[in-house]
Amino acid sequence: MRWSQTLLPTMKESPEGAEIPSHVLMLRAGLINQVMAGAYTYLPLGLRALRKAERIVRDEMDRAGAVELLMPALTPISLWARTGRVDAFGNVLIQFKVKRQNREVHLALGPTHEEVVTDLVAHQVSSYRQLPITLYQIQTKFRNEERPRFGVLRTSEFLMKDAYSFDTSVEALNASYDKMYAAYCRIFTRCGLKYLPVEAESGPIGGDASHEFMVVADNGEDSVVHCAACSYAANLERAEIGGGPQSITLVAGPAPLTKVDTPKVGSIEQVSKLLKCSPQQMLKTLIYVADGNPVAVLVRGDHEANEGKVRRALGAAKLELADPETIEKVTQAPVGFAGPVGLSIPIWADRDVLVVANAVIGANEADKHYTGANIGRDFHVPADHVADLRNAGDGDACPRCGQELALRHAIEVGHVFKLGTKYSDSLAARFLDDQEQQHSIIMGCYGIGVNRIIAAAVETSHDELGIVWPLPIAPYEVLLAPLNVTDEEVRGAAEKLYDELTAAGIDVLLDDRDQRPGVKFKDADLVGIPLRVVIGGRGLKEGQLEVKWRREKEPSNVPVAGAVPKIVEMLAAERAKYAP
């Protein structure tokens, strides 16, 4: 491709509204163009990168034995009603009515495709002889995200590879799952991403039933904990904390329980400032409603309650923070002053609450707190109401080996999940076994955000000058930069290289613009094509070209004669680094 003939609008300045490097660089390097919040055009270079990632994904899906099909984005709302997901998705599901003749048709744009694919299988598969099968597609998904942001990392319309496995037993599901897991590892390695598979919410099958594939990045919206010692890794919702539950012992604090004035001061931060105590010295009392009943949950002031852990500890199907009205009713005080003393609802406590002596707590009275509160003396929590109820954090003990956990931000690029029979049950996808007995098909689902592969690569591979593409997903592999295109000899040499490299199967971008070398070098760094080849008049006189990897500082000389095989060889060696 010739630069002058494609649409590659590079930008010098950081565009307004772009907050993180991948968003800024994808706009500045002319890969994408915003149409509205959450919707982008892929410009020619961006599309090439996207297609390369897509090709790797497809290749590995095929290799793992999955079969490709293509389902419509347009779906009947009735399918989503059958699985209860009209409500579950809520506002995220983009739905609308259209007129057809004298009928009104209610439609939804698929945010994912479990319903469509399960309905298909319900109609087309009936015997164990047709199973196992894993079906996949690479297709546009629609989600009315509350907050589309960070460029193509979170958009309302995005390209997903979604695969669905159908099996006759849990053992067979495990085998299908393991194949997809292995394919994901190969995909992200081939795309040049440093990824971390983490344990995620397990759902109905329980156990080791879900993993997210994360790319650690400071600007990632997800949080994961990782143990460098034993490689335990889990997302924050799921991460356990090491150290067994402790028994309740009265902390014989010398301080008496004392009510103090804290006028208009409710938050941990404000109270700790006013009373000059550390947040570790304080206890937060959170009022939840679990399956309709209010409960109090205590965590240390510097800790965050983990709703998943609380829900599981309580054995509740539904858990949500109580609304202000409920809080006021339960605590007899305005929001911000809840405390465990004198509460008449069940109280649960995180394990770390047990070791806080002389705690500062809310007094269930407007503008009042207690100091000197001690568990076992001033308020009570039954031993079986004490559990790991908080988010893990930096420095907590690993649940597997006891070493320190590290908390990191990350981008979720993929997700594998053992679904069980949730969708096959509600959509009647059943098979007959060899005894003519009917069972629900056992399913798994497996998603990859193809756009996020690109954004995560840029987010984790750039410098102050621009993008540093991993070779396998770079829009082009080689950038030819003739320094003076009005010089016949320079232009001729560049054209010849362009033809020969292209004929050798290499993706080449020729910067044939009549621009100053400074402009070309700046754009080359910004766009980040892995191998830059500079063709200059002086070099040609000496029979030399200058080649430079984007990730390196210094160029090296290559004789013009033999340049093509040399470049081909350099690229082959580089490509080999991404072999799984």
Exposure class string for 393-412: b at 16+ Cβ within 10 A, else e: beebbbbeeeeebbbbebbb
462 makes contact, choosing from ligand ATP, Mg ion, none, with CB < 5 to 8 Å by partner type, with: none
CB-CB contact of 444 with 10 (8 Å): no
154 sits near Mg ion (criterion: CB under 5 A): no
Tell me the closest approach of the beta carbon of residue 162 to Mg ion, in angstroms.
Answer: 11
- Secondary structure (3-state) at 445: strand
Q: Which residue has the tokens 């002319």?
A: 30
Tell me the closest approach of the beta carbon of residue 578 to ligand ATP, in angstroms.
Answer: 20
Which residue in the set 143, 415, 452, 550 belongs to the binding site for Mg ion (CB under 5 A)?
Answer: 415
Question: ω before 111 within 30° of 0 (cis)?
Answer: no
Tell me the closest approach of the beta carbon of residue 458 to ligand ATP, in angstroms.
Answer: 14
Residue among 554, 551, 506, 549 at smallest CA distance from 531: 549
Distances (CA, A) of 117 to 120, 121, 491: 5, 6, 54
Exposure class string for 222-245: b at 16+ Cβ within 10 A, else e: bbbbbbeeeebbbbbbbbbbbeee
With contacts defined by CB under 5 A, name the span among 164-172, 308-316, 413-421, 424-432 that binds Mg ion.
Answer: 413-421
Q: Is 275 exposed, middle or buried (0-12, 13-18, 19+ CB in 10 A)?
A: middle
Residues 105-144 that bind ligand ATP (CB under 6 A): 112, 143
- Spell out, one character per residue from 145 to 164, where the chain touches ligand ATP: x when CB under 6 A holds, - when not: x--------xx--x-x----
- Spell out, one character per residue from 436 to 455, where the chain touches ligand ATP: x when CB under 6 A holds, - when not: -----------x-x-xx---
Output the CA torsion sign for 315, 318, 324, 326.
negative
Query: Which residue number has the CB closest to Mg ion?
Result: 415
| Beta carbon nearer to Mg ion, 154 or 415 | 415
- Spell out, one character per residue from 368 to 407, where the chain touches ligand ATP: x when CB under 6 A holds, - when not: ----------------------------------------
With contacts defined by CB under 5 A, name the span among 31-39, 274-282, 410-418, 516-524 that binds Mg ion.
Answer: 410-418
- Count of CB atoms situated within 10 Å of the CB of 341: 16
Helix ranges, 5-100 (H): 21-28, 44-63, 77-82, 85-89
Which residue in the set 115, 352, 412, 459 belongs to the binding site for ligand ATP (CB under 6 A)?
Answer: 412
Query: Which residue number has the CB closest to ligand ATP?
Result: 449
64 makes contact, choosing from Mg ion, ligand ATP, none, with CB < 5 to 8 Å by partner type, with: none
- Spell out, one character per residue from 357 to 396, where the chain touches Mg ion: x when CB under 5 A holds, - when not: ----------------------------------------
Residue ranges binding ligand ATP (CB under 6 A): 112, 143, 145, 154-155, 158, 160, 412-415, 447, 449, 451-452
